[in-house]
Structure 1
Amino acid sequence: MSSAPTRVYYATDAYDAGADLLGRDPGWLRELERRRLVEATHVGAVSSVITDGWQVDRPTFVLPNGANTRHYVGVDDAPLPDDVQAQGPVVGVVGHLSARIDLDVLEAVAARPITLLLVGPRVEQWGGQRFEELVQRPNVVWVGNKAYAELPSYLRVMDVGLTPYVTSAFNQASSPLKTLEYLAAGRAALSTPLPGVTALDTELVECASTPHAFAVAAERLARRDRDDALVRARRELAYTHDWDSRARQLLEIIGLPARGEVTTGSR
């Protein structure tokens, strides 16, 4: 008799909490997820905030996001971007500029004597006139959407990578990929307090709760001399959270053997 097929339901976000961002009805999303939870043999998510909200009669697993560490190995030798002429220390955000981002924090950072670099598309005129005024400041550079292959070039010019998320149910259940990518590039990482960030349990990622505290920390980190030992430590931490590690963990969770050698990101 053949065994039942393995079916894994893995939630990358708290979908109902992000219904507005997804343009979907939250009730429909909850019902769809309920069906998937019933059908699956293994159920898990990127955050315990998500799994703790499920009513299931079986064990759940938590598997946070990982990072493609190989992509950032040569970041310090990547071509310099030709659309960034920055003066002094540079702090930056990589990713979609949307309602997930705290505009108060960005404005506070831009008020400091450092450069704020924004790399990513603006979603549906997010931020309105406030965003328009922000990117008109002389120390703010917004380069718009960039191909994934170009990201090492932009991270090369950054001293600090920012994860400035608002406090929302959707963000509280998230596992910020960008924070790990900053670490993989050897950059300092600063975030608003999020369970997915504090779960890393490391002093290599700083958190700040208010716009003022965040801006002060961003400037302090940006003006710190680049320490080779810190760069190595950040990268080593990212390697323990790369996608190869995540794949290995998932195979172990569902009881399947790894086929061939699984290696972590090249150092």
Structure 2
Amino acid sequence: MSRDLIVFGEDFGGLPSSTQHIVSRLAKDRKILWVNSIGLRQPKFNTNDVKRAVGKLLGLSKRGYSSESRPHPSNITIVNLKTIPAPKSTWARTIAKTMLLTQLKPIIDKLKLVNPILWTSLPTAADLCGHLGETAVVYYCGDDFASLAGVDHHTISTHENKLANIADLILGASPAICRKFDSTKTTLITHGVDYELFSQSAKRASDLPSNGRPIAGFYGSISNWLDYELIAKICLSNSNWDFVFIGPIELGYNPLPNLSNVYYLGPKPHHQLPSYSQHWDASLLPFKLNQQIMACSPLKLMEYLAAGTPVITTPFPALERYKPYVNLVNDESEFKQALDDVMVKQKGNSEIVRSESWDARTQTVNRLLESL
């Protein structure tokens, strides 16, 4: 019998993370207790942070990527717990730990979990390890948390070091992440793709521009890993193109250029994204090569390729194996040339990533869990 899972991840729903993709598939054979985000950083004195901190103290979940999310598998129980986000001091960590254990233990008893494995994608769950009756600890590291903007890097590194020592198995999403940990218990699990969703024909989204101009599009978080200086130059110098951006704005302002050919469509449900990416003419990854991008394995790269639309991207390490299948650019002139090129080339071949499905990734993870 497969062992059940206690999972500490982001808030379930909305735009699914790699953890959600894998755990949702693991739920076919086991019960899952999913704990919505217990926080990665201490709040600052601004409106958004205060609202989120109060939500965590009251056990309320942050809304997902959009207001529409699909039902989760029946084997997954999702809970919101009252906590102190990313506790820093010893006394705060002790209080947060006590708060979480007091709420969690009755839920675990009620669910009658079978020899559960504690799976965490957040370093801040380190203090709970060894206190929930788990038979093993798995740390799934999908990001270089030490390079995330707005995070107290010292506090997170302290939590992560403790977690890495305790964990029986560490799963890293990129080679750069894996190099941070003990190689004897670390395995590379690169991101996969929901191949069926993105490769099967989808109806064109009604809010895509219909000006007769080609469309270049991006979806994902509008955050500090995008090169807004390059984006502004490209949008300004290519007035014969429309540029579409989809996703939540994670900065305190909208950094996108205010131009007539730039469209910000807001966040969209994950299952609707093929209605956009299949029907624009170029998929964009205009990343700024910061420390986070150096270690990342972007989910959207795989989804763009599965959609079969030409990809224009700036360079980053995880791109290496897919270089023959994308348009790699370094500056404005190369970007402009790539836009011209995609209009005369055939669409991409989605078969490139057929074998990179989340189903295949989950089979590998399942074998690793059962070997613990």
The answer for the alignment partner of 2:179 in structure 1 is 52
The answer for the alignment partner of 2:32 in structure 1 is none
Structure 2 distance, partners of 1:92, 1:145, is: 13
Dislocated runs of 4+, deviation >6 Å: none
* TM-score where L is the length of structure 2: 0.59
Structure 1 distance, partners of 2:144, 2:339, is: 29
Cα 1:140–1:38 change in 2 (3 A) is same
Once the two structures are TM-superposed, the CA of residue 126 in structure 1 deviates from its matched residue by: 4.3
The answer for the alignment partner of 1:182 in structure 2 is 304
Once the two structures are TM-superposed, the CA of residue 17 in structure 1 deviates from its matched residue by: 0.7
One-letter amino acid of the counterpart of residue 153, structure 2: P
Checking the alignment, whether the CA contact within 8 Å between 1:81 and 1:154 is kept in structure 2 is no
One-letter amino acid of the counterpart of residue 209, structure 1: N
Cα 1:69–1:225 change in 2 (3 A) is same
Once the two structures are TM-superposed, the CA of residue 59 in structure 1 deviates from its matched residue by: 4.1
One-letter amino acid of the counterpart of residue 137, structure 2: R
Once the two structures are TM-superposed, the CA of residue 220 in structure 1 deviates from its matched residue by: 1.8
Checking the alignment, whether the CA contact within 8 Å between 1:105 and 1:215 is kept in structure 2 is no
In percent, how many aligned pairs have the same letter? 22
Once the two structures are TM-superposed, the CA of residue 170 in structure 1 deviates from its matched residue by: 0.8
Once the two structures are TM-superposed, the CA of residue 6 in structure 1 deviates from its matched residue by: 3.7
- The answer to whether the aligner puts 1:98 opposite 2:223 as a matched pair is yes
- Bigger Cα Rg: 2
Which of 245, 264, 272 lines up with 1:118 in the alignment? Answer: 245
Checking the alignment, whether the CA contact within 8 Å between 1:86 and 1:139 is kept in structure 2 is no
Once the two structures are TM-superposed, the CA of residue 254 in structure 1 deviates from its matched residue by: 4.5
The answer for the alignment partner of 1:242 in structure 2 is 357
Task: Give aligned pairs, total.
Answer: 238
Which of 170, 173, 184 lines up with 2:295 in the alignment? Answer: 173
Cα 1:172–1:166 change in 2 (3 A) is same
- The answer to whether the aligner puts 1:61 opposite 2:191 as a matched pair is no
- The answer to whether the aligner puts 1:74 opposite 2:200 as a matched pair is yes
SS in 1 for 2:360: helix
SS in 2 for 1:182: helix
The answer for the alignment partner of 2:86 in structure 1 is none
Once the two structures are TM-superposed, the CA of residue 104 in structure 1 deviates from its matched residue by: 2.0
Once the two structures are TM-superposed, the CA of residue 88 in structure 1 deviates from its matched residue by: 2.2
Checking the alignment, whether the CA contact within 8 Å between 1:9 and 1:40 is kept in structure 2 is yes
The answer for the alignment partner of 1:265 in structure 2 is none
Structure 2 distance, partners of 1:201, 1:207, is: 10
Checking the alignment, whether the CA contact within 8 Å between 2:199 and 2:308 is kept in structure 1 is no
Any residues of structure 2 matched to 1:88-237 within 5 Å, and which?
Answer: 88-110=213-235, 111-112=237-238, 113-126=240-253, 128=255, 131=256, 134=257, 136-198=258-320, 200-221=321-342, 223-227=343-347, 230=348, 233=349, 235-237=350-352
One-letter amino acid of the counterpart of residue 213, structure 2: G
Cα deviation, 1:133-166, whole Å, max 9, x if unaligned, reads x2x3222222111222321221232111111110
Structure 2 distance, partners of 1:237, 1:192, is: 20
Unmatched runs of 5 consecutive residues or more in structure 2: 1-114, 116-133
Checking the alignment, whether the CA contact within 8 Å between 1:67 and 1:243 is kept in structure 2 is yes
The RMSD of aligned alpha carbons is 2.4
Which of 41, 51, 59 lines up with 2:168 in the alignment? Answer: 41
Structure 2 distance, partners of 1:207, 1:190, is: 6
Greater relative CO (CA pairs within 8 A, separation 6+): 1
